[in-house]
Structure 1
Amino acid sequence: MPRQALNTILLYFKKQRAFHYRNYRLFMAGQTLSLIGTWIQRMAMMWLAYRLTNSPFLLGLVGFCEQVPIFIIAPFAGVYADKWDKQRALCRVEAMALGQAALLGILTLSGLVHIWHIIALSLCLGTINAFEIPLRQSFVVEMVNRDKDALGNAIALNSTVFNLSRLIGPSVAGILIGSAGEGWCFMINAGSYGVILCSLLMMRVRPSSLPSPSGGHDVVARLKEGIRYVRTQRVMQSLLLLLAIVSFANASLRTLAPVFARDVLHGDANALGYLMSAAGVGAILGALFLTNSRPMPLLMRIVSFTGMLLGASMICFAASGLLWLSLCFMAVGGLAQMMHTACTNTLLQLYTDDDKRGRVMSFYTVSLQGTMPFGSLISGSLAGIIGGPWAMGIMGGFCLLGTLLFREKHRQPRGGSPGQAPPEDSRAAA
């Protein structure tokens, strides 16, 4: 039976076009371990902050500080992503992330950590991520030698691994926090950054044949060019706007998870791990669905429907006081959020010209993660005033109403700009 299961897994990977490329196989090997480490650190950081302060507001502030640099810096980072050698730039960024995680681990293990350390290092990590995400997103096409048929599959597989790590990481974090403490969680994440750094160094990337981006070295001019490019694409504008609404609301799930785990469900770090892992289970199911070919009209409908589904699941989660029921709603929310994000990424990647990919993906990063700090701060503030369940319900209602309001703007237009509209059988990405 185990041999049959192994053969099934190998057959699945052989069918994935992106795995035909050595660079992408290296990337996925390192990225898998790195993402697990990232989720371990995220859970440990939030739990440590709440343990030190017992303050939902400061918990939200930590989430705000981790994400707000993305909102400010990512658009400029996208300009550099279109200029820099992406492989070398990613190596430098991953090395800095390794240092951040190691420093946080040392402070925690030595007993010197205070909440201001967590806030400062969260800001540092957010700044690193502001450069890393647009670089990584736009580097995918180079890892598959600019094979557009493999691009969607590559991004979808990356999303599958991301959500698999969201299933594994929080569970491991819950065990490690209880048995070894938060400090070792941070040190494990530092080691995982070392793995992805090695995989990047082992890649052999074909030099780009694209002409140098217009605008020379004027960062502001090239940023304006990217903004004008997006403004001419009605579908891009609508996708980015709705993604911002969904991500803003969804931030409360991660920010308030420790509050629900300890104060509402009367659990410990293991309960927090169960909640986040449940979201990962739902997300994996959605990611597996999107690894197969999906027509564009279906992707557009998924974007609209999953925004409403996420809002409804958050409201139900807020009203549930039972662990098993909360896990079900977290799974539904994880599926909805992942599929919404995945389909948005797919449509943007396939509509975007290669010479503007870094800038467009930086706008995607701002909509996805740049809005989260404000969602974290507001949900944490509301939880401190009216309680976690009411705060979650309000954020879920905002997500539901916001999706309904902009639903019409997410319908695929008839036709498209030359060179922009992808084919109807484009593969789903995440």
Structure 2
Amino acid sequence: MVNWDRLTLAFRIPAFRWIWASSLAGAAGFQPFMIGQGWLLWELTASPFMVGLAPALGAASNLILNPFWGLMSDRLDRRKLMIVSQSVMGLAILVLGILVVNDMVQIWHVLILSVIQRMGMSLQRTAGKPFTFSVVGRKAFMNATAAHFLTSQGAGLVGPISAGFIIKSFGTGYLFLILGFIILMGVLALFRVQSVPIKNRATKSFIQDFREALKFVKNDTSLRAILWTVLVTESLGYSTWSMFPVVAVSLLGGDSVTLGLLGTFRGLGGVLGALSVSSFGDIKLKGSILWGGAFLFGLALIAFSFSRDAYLSYALVSCIGIVAVIYDIQANTLLLSLCPEEMRGRIMAIYGIVMTGIGFGSLGMGAVAGWLGVNWAIFGGGSLVTTNALAHMHMAPVVNRQAQKD
């Protein structure tokens, strides 16, 4: 039986409801955008490498800029940073839509606007998660994180199949116009939220402040283990999403609707995973669930790599969605719970740098897929994710105790 008190814990806070509404709009735009971007590049080039190049370039820009985003988040008004970042995301997608509709789009347009969109998303994540923590507090933060994942996965449930049908009926240009408008509408919700002052703001030079955060992570064994697991799991596991256009066409013999259904069933699994975490309230064994989820994620990817049947693939990506979201919620909750408030922006920046592995992983996936085949690229990624999770499983009891103490 669902425990509604636990499920709606963060939603009792009015400010969080507006933050969540903004997150919903952003997720509703971003999830289908990734589908549309991959499909557009596939149409323009028919190259798995080019499909993976766009997220890789976005990752490269974030690798450079994330330290600045983190320092800005620990110095400036995080709510205002969220407004600016989401506006940039929406405008970049709108411009791409205008170019496609007017038959003016070139490959370099897609790549540059993808970088700009990723920059906005990176700043949004770096400022948004610490701001949410400040609004809801430690006890409700895991529930709030699960609620945010519920929006992104819910959008992943409806968005990809909707994107597939819109692309098939009207083309990618009109898809981008709709998505840009939705994201910009979400900005309005943030104007209903009051800013939360940061205690003990970072006041040293940019280099000194970021070096302080790096030293903090270096001296904390738990944070190091979590961040390394995030690096491996995101870069070798989550980068699989960028290969969905290739899987849909080359392995499953489908089209844009098949592509949309892959994303939709992954979103369905993500919704189930987020709901399961929310319904349990403040889970104690966060470390065990983190590495256990990563292990199962890798196994599910291995199974997915062998599938040539569309219906079996839909079932497998649903399983992938469940375990991936359960793992991811624990990683986000632990990273912000195990560090002081005044350093959360910089810790999220380091997390963002690690997350750039998705983009570089997408590039590697594209290269391996072009060389050996997309099935072997996914198999290799899943195998390494599973191996890494097993190698770090001994850290779970330590992280469990530390999370309960804090």
TM-score of Structure 1 vs Structure 2, range by shorter chain: over 0.9
Structure 1 window deviating more from structure 2 (192-201 vs 219-228): it is: 192-201
Which letter does structure 1 place at the counterpart of 2:391? L
Distance 1:13 1:166 in 2: 26
Aligned to 1:225: 212
Instruction: Kindly state the Cα deviation for residue 398 of structure 1 after the two structures are TM-superposed.
Output: 1.6
Are residues 1:61 and 2:49 paired?
no
In structure 2, relative to structure 1, the CA distance for the partners of 1:337 and 1:110 (3 Å cut) is same
Matches within 5 A, 1:221-370: 221-291=208-278, 292-296=280-284, 298-367=285-354, 369-370=355-356
Aligned to 1:19: 11
Are residues 1:72 and 2:64 paired?
yes
Distance 1:286 1:362 in 2: 25
Q: Determine helix, strand or coil for the equivalent of 2:398.
A: coil
- Runs of 4+ in structure 1 over 6 Å off: none
In structure 2, relative to structure 1, the CA distance for the partners of 1:22 and 1:51 (3 Å cut) is same
Match of 1:170 among 152, 156, 160: 160
Distance 1:143 1:212 in 2: 17
Identity value in percent: 25
Instruction: Kindly state the Cα deviation for residue 309 of structure 1 after the two structures are TM-superposed.
Output: 1.1
Which letter does structure 2 place at the counterpart of 1:143? V
Task: Show structure 2 runs of 5+ residues with no match.
Answer: none
Aligned to 1:5: none
Instruction: Kindly state the Cα deviation for residue 337 of structure 1 after the two structures are TM-superposed.
Output: 1.4
Distance 1:343 1:264 in 2: 33
Which letter does structure 2 place at the counterpart of 1:193? I
Alpha-carbon displacement from aligned partner over 1:379-413 (angstroms, at most 9, x marks no partner): 10011111111111111112122222232234425
Match of 1:404 among 374, 378, 390: 390
Are residues 1:85 and 2:77 paired?
yes
Q: Determine helix, strand or coil for the equivalent of 2:237.
A: helix
Structure 1 window deviating more from structure 2 (274-283 vs 148-157): it is: 148-157
Aligned to 1:386: 372
Distance 2:389 2:175 in 1: 37
Match of 2:185 among 188, 195, 206: 195
Distance 1:46 1:15 in 2: 35
Q: Determine helix, strand or coil for the equivalent of 1:288.
A: helix
Q: Determine helix, strand or coil for the equivalent of 1:130.
A: helix
TM-score for the superposition, normalised by structure 1: 0.89
Distance 1:262 1:251 in 2: 19
Q: Determine helix, strand or coil for the equivalent of 2:281.
A: coil
Aligned to 1:96: 88
Are residues 1:148 and 2:138 paired?
yes
Instruction: Kindly state the Cα deviation for residue 63 of structure 1 after the two structures are TM-superposed.
Output: 2.2
In structure 2, relative to structure 1, the CA distance for the partners of 1:302 and 1:206 (3 Å cut) is closer
Aligned to 2:117: 125
Do the aligned partners of 1:45 and 1:118 also contact (CA within 8 Å) in 2?
yes
Distance 1:413 1:108 in 2: 48
Do the aligned partners of 1:350 and 1:422 also contact (CA within 8 Å) in 2?
no
Distance 1:53 1:333 in 2: 29
Distance 2:61 2:405 in 1: 36
In structure 2, relative to structure 1, the CA distance for the partners of 1:415 and 1:149 (3 Å cut) is closer
Do the aligned partners of 2:36 and 2:163 also contact (CA within 8 Å) in 1?
yes
Alpha-carbon displacement from aligned partner over 1:244-302 (angstroms, at most 9, x marks no partner): 10001123321110011011111111101111111111111111111122443x22111
Which letter does structure 1 place at the counterpart of 2:383? G
Aligned to 2:171: 181
Distance 1:213 1:189 in 2: 36
Do the aligned partners of 2:100 and 2:173 also contact (CA within 8 Å) in 1?
yes
Match of 2:42 among 50, 66, 86: 50
Do the aligned partners of 2:157 and 2:266 also contact (CA within 8 Å) in 1?
yes
Distance 1:234 1:395 in 2: 25
What is the count of residue pairs matched by the alignment? 405
Which letter does structure 1 place at the counterpart of 2:337? L
Do the aligned partners of 2:234 and 2:358 also contact (CA within 8 Å) in 1?
yes
Aligned to 1:211: 200
Do the aligned partners of 1:13 and 1:19 also contact (CA within 8 Å) in 2?
no
Aligned to 1:374: 360
Task: Show structure 1 runs of 5+ residues with no match.
Answer: 1-7, 425-430
Q: Determine helix, strand or coil for the equivalent of 1:312.
A: helix
Instruction: Kindly state the Cα deviation for residue 157 of structure 1 after the two structures are TM-superposed.
Output: 1.1
